[in-house]
Amino acid sequence: MWPRILPFAAYMAFIGVSSLLPEGTCSELWLYPVKTAVVLGLLVYFGSAYSELHGPIFADAKEAAFGIGVGILVYVLWVQMDWPWATQGEITGYNPFEEGAGMGWALAAVRIFGASIVVPLMEELFWRSFLIRWVVNPDFEKVAFGTFTLASFAATVVLFGLEHNLWLAGMMAGVAYNGLYYKTRRLWPCVVAHATTNFILGLHVLATQEWQWW
């Protein structure tokens, strides 16, 4: 289980460290590239353990369209769900062009890469490869992909939502990605859907400068 837990734990530890830094400091801006590098390093190191990712990304064109479509739908809904009552904590956002020492576009590129590649792999390996099966049976590798129980569905949706400042939007995304997991019984479509959501959201942020989505 540790190859699926440790990258997620490292990511959350960096979030904890970031919350202790003064808002808007260069240290906070540069912590994200370090976090991305550490988590990516762990994913590469444990890569051979991720048997669920050793197959093709999509089984066929229909599955590809479905996975990407789910990712787009989550993005469309996400940017409509920033209601105050559905928000926890203070959302400060990430503006790579603020005190970025002239490296704004480089920081933005790292942010896009981290959000679109590293985060989907790390989170889907934790939530929909490990935890959703671990709730069914602590010996989670014996649980077939796509196995549904109400407890595992609810636990992953609620906890995935609470991981985000926009907790209701997070739960919505959890429902969507879980649904894709149950439909395809594979992890890659969930990773691609998650990556699609985050990539389009990143383009949205850069186009509108609505940094709160980051």
User: Which helix H or strand E contains 37, and what residues bound it?
Assistant: helix 26-45
CB atoms within 10 A of CB 55: 11
Q: How confident is the model at residue 199 (pLDDT cuts 50, 70, 90)?
A: very high
91-95, 168-172, 173-177, 202-206: least confident range: 91-95
8-12, 22-26, 210-214: least confident range: 22-26
- Domain extents in the chain: 2-213
pLDDT in tens, 35-68: 999 999 999 999 999 999 998 999 999 999 999 9
pLDDT in tens, 99-154: 655 788 999 999 999 999 999 999 999 999 999 999 999 999 999 999 999 999 99
- Indicate left, alpha or beta for 209 from its phi (over 0: left) and psi (-120 to 50: alpha): left
Place of tokens 């934790």: 126
* 141-160 per-residue burial string, b: 16 or more CB within 10 A, e: under 16: eebebeeeeeebbebbbeeb
